[in-house]
Amino acid sequence: MEEMLLIPVNQLELSTDCIENLQSMHISNLHDLVKKGWQGLRETDGFDYIRFNEVVRLLTKHDLIHLLERPS
C-alpha cells in the first residue's frame, strides 16, 4: 500500500477542491504530505482543515494514517 504514496494527488480518490488545495501547498503526492507531518501541514500556507479531513479519510481507508505521526 505504501506505493500509493507516490501516486500524483490528481490521480487519487479526492475531490477537485482537495486536489487543488494540496497542489497550492506544493504537495504533489502523499509522500510530500506525510513528510510534513501534522504540525508541518498546519503551518503550511493554504492549509485547509476541511480539505485535509478528506485526505485523512483516504489515508485511514488505506491504513496509512499512522504515517502522519512524527516524533517531536
Q: What is the pLDDT of residue 72?
A: 42
More confident: 61 or 1: 61
Question: How many angstroms separate the CA atoms of 24 and 26, rounded?
Answer: 5
Paired strand residues for 8: 29
Helical segments of the chain, H only: 16-24, 30-42, 49-61
Which residue ranges make up each domain of the chain?
2-68
What is the CATH number that goes with domain 2-68?
Answer: 1.10.150.20
3-state secondary structure (DSSP) of residue 15: coil
Residue 1 pLDDT level (bands cut at 50, 70, 90): low
Q: pTM score > 0.85 for this model?
A: no
Question: What digits encode the pLDDT tens for the residues 15-72?
Answer: 999 999 999 999 999 999 989 888 888 899 999 889 999 999 999 999 999 988 764 4
